[in-house]
Amino acid sequence: MQIPLVDLKAQYIPLREEIMRGMAAVLDSMHLTTGPNLADFEENFAAFCGAAYCVGVANGTDALQLALRACDVGLDPADEVITVSHSFIATTEGIWQAGARPVFVDIDPRTYTMDVSQVEAKITAHTRAILPVHIHGQMADMVSLREIADRYNLYLIEDAAQAHGASLNGKPAGSWGDLACFSFYPGKNLGAYGEAGAITTDNQALAERLRVLRNHGSETKYKHIELGFNSRLDELQAVVLRAKLPYINRWNEGRRKIARQYDRLLTGSGLVTPFVAPGSVSAYHHYAVTSGNRDALLDWLQANGIGAGIHYPLPIHLQPAGMRYGYAPGSLPVTEKYTASTLSLPIYAEMTDEQVNYIVAKVFEFKELKEKPRIKDSLVTMK
């Protein structure tokens, strides 16, 4: 049996005709950028996130950079943004591209999101923003982070690239921060068929500035009020996102069903399954477990046709590109321990019970294979 980490084609086939009709209409009109499909998607995605405004941009990395730029973070090269190292490199890229410096804190040992107990100690006169990452689909502790940001007069910006449809205390991802940044990379819970991103906010002034920044700093054609960026979400990608958005809640519930099956069936497997914090509803972008034999288990699963993966094997502060920030091995111990043991199992709404049972069976076969030598060793010792 072959089971991919995520099956994009299974999601595409039922929507194919609708998407192709929408794309054909765009091509027939030749209105290819910032048109009616984008406007409709922005309105509906803002509502989905419980936010007043949504600004579509070219990709999730641009969303992070433009969100910081809209807040004037990075105008002073001494500006600092508190964030985490356990994320895709784009989180730090967005900070660096904006002209600021990332300041890393460790992650919570249960949720793997930002450890809020470490944040205040990292705040300096140069701190301008806090940028938590909603990792694997679970939101960071936004209640505590909102309180800290307000107390120190800092911007709170959500990296919600993995959290489409996640919530905390009934309040969706995308509605907690001053701004929230989303990626619609194809493999996301809500994915385009190429690159796309968005920023949500309740702040009208920030939304208006973001619309200017994404369009070369222009409010009207050939009138540029500041130096901006070429970061527009095109109409073809907006067609895809617009067609998919009505299904996102159903797809997320499908992911949660699969996660509940994994939770139940993996009991006794030796794997540590995801912990979901009280009041939190995960979007389960990844189903990330931990294992003391991670690398061997990964090889075993892949050899048996299971598209398991690792998110993310080397934290940002230990990446060659991240070494410039001066964090030595051991400086973020929870992050480093977790990234050495984490493994993502396939999860997508279209998975069948047969596929889940096959994956779980192979996990237990691996456990048995690992335990057999220990039994033999014990018998030899007893003799």
Mean pLDDT of 105-112: 98
CATH superfamily of 249-382: Aspartate Aminotransferase, domain 1 (3.90.1150.10)
Residue boundaries of the structural domains of the chain: 8-246, 249-382
How far apart, in whole angstroms, are the C-alpha atoms of residue 97 and residue 112?
25
Of residues 371 and 333, the one with the higher pLDDT is 333
- pLDDT, tens digit (0-9, with 9 covering 90-100), for 332-368: 999 999 999 999 999 999 999 999 999 999 999 999 9
Nearest residue to 132 (alpha-carbon basis) of 142, 124, 123: 142
Other CB atoms within a 10 A radius of the CB of residue 86 amount to: 27
249: left (phi over 0), alpha (psi -120 to 50) or beta: alpha
Mean pLDDT of 136-144: 98
Q: What is the pLDDT of residue 375?
A: 44
Say whether pLDDT at 267 is over 60: yes
Mean pLDDT of 55-72: 98
Mean pLDDT of 211-225: 95
Q: What is the pLDDT of residue 374?
A: 56
Other CB atoms within a 10 A radius of the CB of residue 229 amount to: 18
Q: What is the pLDDT of residue 372?
A: 78
Query: Helix %, strand %, coil % for the chain, to 5?
Result: 45, 15, 40
- pLDDT, tens digit (0-9, with 9 covering 90-100), for 25-42: 999 999 999 999 999 999
Q: What is the pLDDT of residue 373?
A: 62
How many degrees, rounded to 5, is the angle at CA 263 between CA 261 and CA 288?
Answer: 110
Instruction: Give percent above pLDDT 90 in the chain.
Output: 96
- pLDDT, tens digit (0-9, with 9 covering 90-100), for 279-310: 999 999 999 999 999 999 999 999 999 999 99
CA 366 to each of CA 220, 301, 363: distance values in angstroms, whole numbers, following the listed order: 62, 9, 5
Which CATH class, in words, describes the domain spanning 8-246?
alpha beta
> What is residue 272's DSSP assignment?
B
Mean pLDDT of 116-127: 98
Say whether pLDDT at 59 is over 50: yes
Say whether pLDDT at 185 is over 60: yes
Cross-strand pairs, 348: none
| Lowest mean pLDDT across 94-108, 216-230, 264-278, 362-376 | 362-376
The model's confidence at residue 371, banded by pLDDT at 50, 70 and 90, is confident
DSSP 22-91: HHHHHHHHT--BSSHHHHHHHHHHHHHHT-SEEEEES-HHHHHHHHHHHTTTTSSTT-EEEEESSS-THH
Residue 158 phi, psi (nearest 5) = -85, 130
Say whether pLDDT at 56 is over 70: yes
